[in-house]
Structure 1
């Protein structure tokens, strides 16, 4: 079965460079007409919406974006307000900040704002998420699990995400927080999904042709358990170590591509030919 794919996504592993070259944030800005189109900063996940909203507004303004709004949803009732719905309808880019991914889905799920997210995404609005905003992009998301530990059965908690990209599970701050164990646990429970671990200051740009490109300073890890031959994940004793056989991992750096349909990395031959 082919994954249900969409494009118009930039998914960031968190802690993107905000003071130096700002490579990833510049790439975000390149997706819109900086003079005329609207960038909406969604501070739904954070406990410091005013502070975070001001920080990103300043950064994007310095990068030349003229029209910036901050979507601050701290109660479910705010997701029913017409002014917030209209703000999203006018957006060309929606940027979800970090914080708590469960806060995003629990505040927005089933509301008019959630319906608008789906509608404008289908119409070509670019969605960007960093940290918690990255995890929430998939239809199944990790909400908690042990960092920097061997994978154990039943220690990863998951919940439905926004579903902008299907059949993948995304984890962020990946190498920096030692999260390979918890992503393996998530994939053991959902072997039909690809696990995508994204390092800090690193992102994937998802193309509607069915592949993604890596940008940023570190790595992206793709775990494919579709050919798994054995796992003890469904057996008793949930605190036992997880055992998995025949799992494949790819490690990708900046400019590497990964075909989400064929489930394999590939070289960007066009760029290679240009550099010859």
Structure 2
């Protein structure tokens, strides 16, 4: 475990990282925030369905909810293979978008089909220029540079609890886990942090989002975000363990942040006022 690192400065864009199972039928507080930040009634949204095995059904669901929230233009882009992510029509859609939204499914599909393609390049370029990139469930897990691919829930921290791999690097230097409270994932988040150079872990509850903007994030939704900070740990036994042995971490910091609370990513401190 590497500690004491600071996180890089964020680009001009914003991230809306959703813990999954967001409300799509009621007030839609989380998705409403995504649309508002992407331009409100003038928003031009690209829905990326690469993570799901049901792109038609899932795409239609988000078209309906985003239209109901007043977005001006919604386009579904499905890229099941890397060659699809080099399609000029997909590139053009993102170039004209004010928001790009990744649906749930399997985060490994996102990386396999989009990473290191022209579409990947243009989404990052537009994010640097100021658009909003959102994602739910798998679309949240892929946000860091090193992501959780899969892992056990409701377990104590151990080295073999979680499998990690390259993510899409919209928010480097952190680890993100979703469906956090509902699936009891504290053990796997701690296991992931112990194995990676990241110093912050975000456990995001369902129907809850971390909205990242200008080096800070704000919590939106009905649940909470659990922030684990391992920058100043006094002891970790990860280098001494075999795969089935329990992990020890001493001196980690824990923050539980409900709706409206903010967090400074550079100082790694909650903003309480």
Equivalent residues of 1:191, 1:226 under 8 A apart: no
Query: Quick check: 1:49 aligned with 2:63?
Result: no
**Pick aligned residue for 1:233 from 232, 238, 245:** 238
2:38–2:131 Cα contact (<8 Å) kept: no
**Deviant stretches of 4+, over 4 Å:** none
SS of 2:37's equivalent in the other structure is: coil
CA contact (8 A) 1:139 1:165 kept: yes
CA deviations 1:220-254 (Å, max 9, x no partner) are 00001111122221224211111111111110000
| Alignment of 1:60 onto 2:66 | yes
Distance 2:152 2:8 in 1: 29
Q: 2:174 aligns with which of 152, 160, 168?
A: 168
The answer on 1:217 being equivalent to 2:214 is: no
TM-score (norm 1): 0.93
TM-score by length of 2: 0.94
Alignment of structure 1 residues 91-240 onto 2, 5 Å: 91-190=97-196, 192-208=198-214, 210-240=215-245
Structure 1 residues 33 and 187: CA distance shift in structure 2, 3 A: closer
1:33 and 1:228 map into 2 onto residues whose CA distance is 41
| TM-aligned CA deviation for residue 162 of structure 1 | 1.0
Distance in 2 (alpha carbons) for counterparts of 1:262 and 1:169: 17
Structure with the larger RCO, 1 or 2 (CA within 8 Å, 6+ apart): 2
CA distance in 2, matches of 1:42, 1:248: 35
Counterparts of 1:32 and 1:3, CA distance in 2: 24
Q: Note if contact 1:146-1:155 (Cα within 8 Å) is conserved in structure 2.
A: yes
8 A Cα contact 1:143 1:157, kept in partner: yes
Q: Determine helix, strand or coil for the equivalent of 1:55.
A: helix
RMSD, aligned α-carbons:
1.3
Gaps of 5+ in 1: 270-276
Structure 2 residues without counterparts, runs of 5 or longer: none
Distance 2:36 2:43 in 1: 11
- Of 256, 259, 271, the match for 1:266: 271
Deviation track 1:110-151 (CA, whole Å, cap 9, x = no partner) reads 211111111111111110010010111111110111101111
C-alpha separation in 2, matches of 1:191 and 1:242? 16
Match of 2:8 in 1: 4
Aligned residue pairs, count: 267
Structure 1 residues 244 and 212: alpha-carbon distance in aligned structure 2, compared to 1, 3 A threshold: same
- Displacement of 1:214 after TM fit? 0.5
The equivalent of 2:35 in structure 1 is 29
